[in-house]
Amino acid sequence: MEEKTKLTLGDAALIFETGKIAKQANGAALVRYEGSVVLATACASKSENSSLDYLPLTVNYVEKFYAAGKIPGGFFKREGRPQEKEILVSRLIDRPLRPLFPKNFRRELQIIATTMSTDQINPPDILAMNGASLAVGLSDIPLKKLVGAVRVGMLDDSYVVNPTYSQMEEASLEIVVAGTDEDIIMVEGGAQEVTEEELLGAISFAEPYIREIIEAQQELINRAGKTKMEVSEESVDEKLVAAVRDHAYAQYSEACFVPTKLARQNALDSAGEQTLEKINEQFGEESLPQVYEILESIEKEIVRKSIIDEGRRSDGRGLKDIRPIDIEVTLFQRTHGSALFTRGETQSIAITSLGTVSDEQRYDNIEGEGTKAFMLHYNFPPFCVGETAGRLGPGRREIGHGHLAERSIKSMIPEKEDFPYTIRVVSEITESNGSSSMASICAGSLSLLSAGVPLRDSVAGVAMGLVFESADRYAVLSDILGSEDHLGDMDFKVAGTRKGITGFQMDVKISGISKEIMREALEQAREGRLHILDKMAEVIEKPVDSISRYAPKILILKVPQEKIGTIIGPSGKMIRSIIEETGTNINVEDDGTVTISATGEGDAERAYDTIQSLIAEIEVGKAYEGEVKRIMDFGAFVEIQPGKEGLVHISKLEHHRVNKVTDVLNVGDRVKVKVTEIDALGRINLSRKALLPNPHPQSRS
């Protein structure tokens, strides 16, 4: 039976529906907000897979072009592999929901959120996040808590819930906040150097809306929800736990504090292998899968206890200490800009490439077509953690980390009018032990300065962690290791300049984290960020004086719109001839902006001068140099500007009588002439003799 509920959110109604569409899914919900509609479904496999030691959850967000009344481009005319935006929204849905499924639930799970309609005003991603929670809540799939999500924008120092696309473009802060009815569990967004208090204010602003959304979900679930599946409790063999602890605890207590990552992991592996061998003798091979979980719990207990009780971390640092930093710039001759940023055992090489307008990334999605002139791509090859892998292309994690780094630096990129280049930064992670996305921001900022990009300011990032036992027993960690991310309770990435925050991402694994803890984490992150920025400034603080000689040369010219046709010429003849003669690329925009780019032997200055002369007005009394294009009995036609010819009458060639024009000029000759008249029909009359010394000063010219 069809059921629905709604609530007012901002200036519109958020409507939840179920029971009409996708009734064979375990759970399905249709979410409407103005003209945007998303269908979310949740399905689980019929049987469990007890061999899995992780939650087998897949989340797919799908945008259909029909949602905007569009037909996809290309030969096949149908949607293909996921676009970057779809991957990023899939991660937004996955991250807050994943920790809320029972740990021992071993059925294959799939959540699919499909945009059915978009008004191209209200973003559908927030609808997908709420719809996914509701679809699982309505289903028989167990979930500890429902999730609500909103976007918050800050415009003119005021917060706005679920801003439109146009509002998001003007906002100084844009943040997605997801939480349960009690706690915030995920935050992600970008900003233009906002303060820590402004960020906390946005999170606080989101909380009552999140609770209202969850109440509306619960109301619908009470009417139409299914009885939840029972999850079998995993039995714990206390004798096995005691035996493992007896064999491993002392060795783990030493291995957990070996200073370097690989040596520490080797020590833990060695202790684990010895324990497995002894347990196998005592309890048999069937007990070994449980042993791995017990060993991880021992490591977690030892590391967390040391952090809270002693303020001592695995690598020997204090809670606020940033790992040693080493920086080099301009590593390679042929790249336009490069930087090597090493922080402890995490390392990024960032390479900046400068391109022309033709290198801009073009995209076409349900929101419309557009281009990007700044890109940051993140690669995490398996060798950076000493592993092998068959697939080397970017996965969802790489796409997400690159997006976070890109939006953190984007607001510091100069306007196109000031720096007319397409910019691509690639971060290659060559070593990893935590915070590689933040290392990419640091390396990327340094690489841009190395390439001569006039950034508004340098950007750095740091990842914060948390070990939480209670409201008065916790520890905030700066610059976390990979193991501290895995064993801890929070991953809070914060990037920015000295003035404020530009990018952030927070995932919380537990409930009960207060605003006071978030405030402490943000202040500690600010201290860490300033420390890193100081280290970066010691190496390079301002862009280099000139860009690489291997980068394209770009000149920009603004011309009156009525002159665009003159530059293009009939059927594009004029602009093609300029491109061929100068070896340049020329792009003319509708507003009259002309971009000239040249690489190699191309002559951008010559193309610039040619276009300038094309649009310049011919002035009577002014001298020009041109080329003889045609010879007639009565005179010569000289091209004084591209496409503009004037006549030098035979009587105006010399001070003396000329019998034949070819006695003085021939086709192809370069000649200086003076404009003597532009008649009513626009015909240009020229004189050569007006610029020649007169041997008979008393005679007329």
Residues 385 and 449 in one domain: yes
Per the CB < 8 A criterion, the answer to whether 259 and 433 are in contact is no
Domain final position from 594, 615, 636: 615
Question: Does pLDDT of 185 surpass 80?
Answer: yes
Express each pLDDT in 270-301 by its tens digit.
999 999 999 998 888 888 888 998 999 999 99
Range of lowest pLDDT (2-11, 25-34, 598-607): 598-607
**Mean pLDDT of all residues in 342-363:** 95
pLDDT in tens, 35-44: 999 999 999 9
Q: Is the pTM of this model over 0.85?
A: yes
- Produce one character per residue of 356-365: b if its CB has 16 or more CB atoms within 10 Å, e if not: bbebbeeeeb
CA distance 444 to 374: 12
CB 122 within 8 A of CB 40: no
Of all residues in the chain, the percent with pLDDT exceeding 90 is 79
Q: Cα separation of 536 and 576, whole Å?
A: 46
Helix H or strand E segment including 526: helix 515-539
Q: What is the pLDDT of residues 591-628, one digit of tens each?
A: 898 999 998 778 889 999 888 888 888 889 999 999 99
Q: Are 257 and 245 in contact (CB under 8 A)?
A: no
For residue 591, what is the domain's CATH number?
3.30.1370.10
pLDDT in the model for residue 496: 98
Residue 489 lies in a domain: no
pLDDT at residue 697, rounded to an integer: 66
Residue 602: what pLDDT?
Answer: 80
**231 in any annotated domain:** no
**Alpha carbon distances (Å) from 58 to 99, 116, 177, 229:** 13, 20, 21, 19
What SS3 class is residue 630?
Answer: strand
> Tokens for 188?
């992600």
**Residue 698 above 70 pLDDT?**
no
610 and 645 inside one domain? no
Which residues partner with 587 through β-bridges?
A: 595
pLDDT band at 322 (very low <50, low <70, confident <90, very high): very high
Q: Give residue-wise pLDDT tens across range 417-466.
A: 899 999 999 999 999 999 999 999 999 999 999 999 999 999 999 999 99
**304 and 359 within one domain:** no
Pair 590, 643 in one domain: no
Mean pLDDT of the 165-192 span: 96
Q: What angle do CA 640, 552, 611 make, to 5 degrees?
A: 15
Neighbouring CB atoms inside 10 A of 350's CB total 30
Residue 255 lies inside a defined structural domain of this protein: yes
Of 32, 65, 62, nearest to 368 (Cα)? Answer: 65
Q: What mean pLDDT comes out for the span 395-418? A: 95
Q: Considering the domain boundaries, does residue 153 fall inside one?
A: yes
Which of 224, 250, 273 delimits the end of a domain? 224
Residues 30 and 18: their CA atoms lie apart, in Å, by 6
Strands (DSSP E) contained in 34-157 are 36-44, 57-63, 109-117, 148-155
Same domain flag for 365 and 459: yes
Number of H helices, E strands in the chain: 14, 29
Give the C-alpha separation, 677 to 460, whole Å: 64
List the CATH number of the domain containing 286. 1.10.10.400
DSSP string for 146-215: --EEEEEEEETTEEEES--HHHHHH-SEEEEEEE-SS-EEEEEEEEEEE-HHHHHHHHHHHHHHHHHHHH
Q: Choose the final residue of a domain: 175, 192, 224.
A: 224
Q: What was the pLDDT predicted at 634?
A: 92
Residues 137 and 252 in one domain: no
Task: Give the number of domains in the chain.
Answer: 5
Same domain, 452 and 524: yes
Residue 696 placed within a domain: no
Residue 158 lies in a domain: yes
Asked, for residue 584, whether it belongs to a domain, the answer is yes
pLDDT digits (tens, 9 = 90+) for 118-130: 999 999 999 999 9
Question: Which residues, in sequence order, are CB contacts of 565 under 8 Å at separation 6+?
Answer: none
258 and 173 fall within a common domain: no
In this structure, the answer to whether residues 36 and 87 fall within a common structural domain is: yes
pLDDT of residue 563 exceeding 50: yes
d(CA 518, CA 508): 11
pLDDT tens digits, one per residue of 93-114: 999 999 999 988 889 999 999 9
Is the same domain home to 287 and 206? Answer: no
Residues with Cβ within 8 Å of 427's Cβ and at least 6 positions away in sequence, in order, are 348, 349, 350, 376, 377, 378, 379, 402, 405, 439, 440, 443, 444
The predicted-structure confidence for 218-262, as pLDDT tens digits, reads as follows 999 999 999 999 887 777 789 999 999 999 999 999 999 999 999
pLDDT at 290: 87
Question: Over 50: is that where the pLDDT of 701 sits?
Answer: no
Buried b (16+ CB within 10 A) or exposed e, 330-339: beeeebbbbb
Contacts for 1-8: CB closer than 8 Å, 24+ residues apart: 1/224, 3/220, 3/223, 3/224, 4/220, 5/216, 5/219, 5/220, 6/216, 7/212, 7/213, 7/215, 7/216
Question: Do 509 and 402 share a domain, yes or no?
Answer: yes
Domain at 652, CATH number: 2.40.50.140
User: Which tens digits make up the pLDDT trace of 491-517?
Assistant: 999 999 999 999 999 999 988 788 999
The pLDDT of 169-186, averaged and rounded, is: 96
Residue 229 lies in a domain: no
DSSP symbol at 691: G
267 and 347 assigned to the same domain: no
Which CATH number is 337's domain given? 3.30.230.70
Determine the structural domain holding residue 664 and report its residue range: 623-691
Would you state the pLDDT for residue 203? 97
Query: What pLDDT score does 445 carry?
Result: 98
Phi-psi region at 7: left, alpha or beta (left = phi > 0; alpha = psi -120 to 50):
beta
Mean residue pLDDT of the chain comes to 93
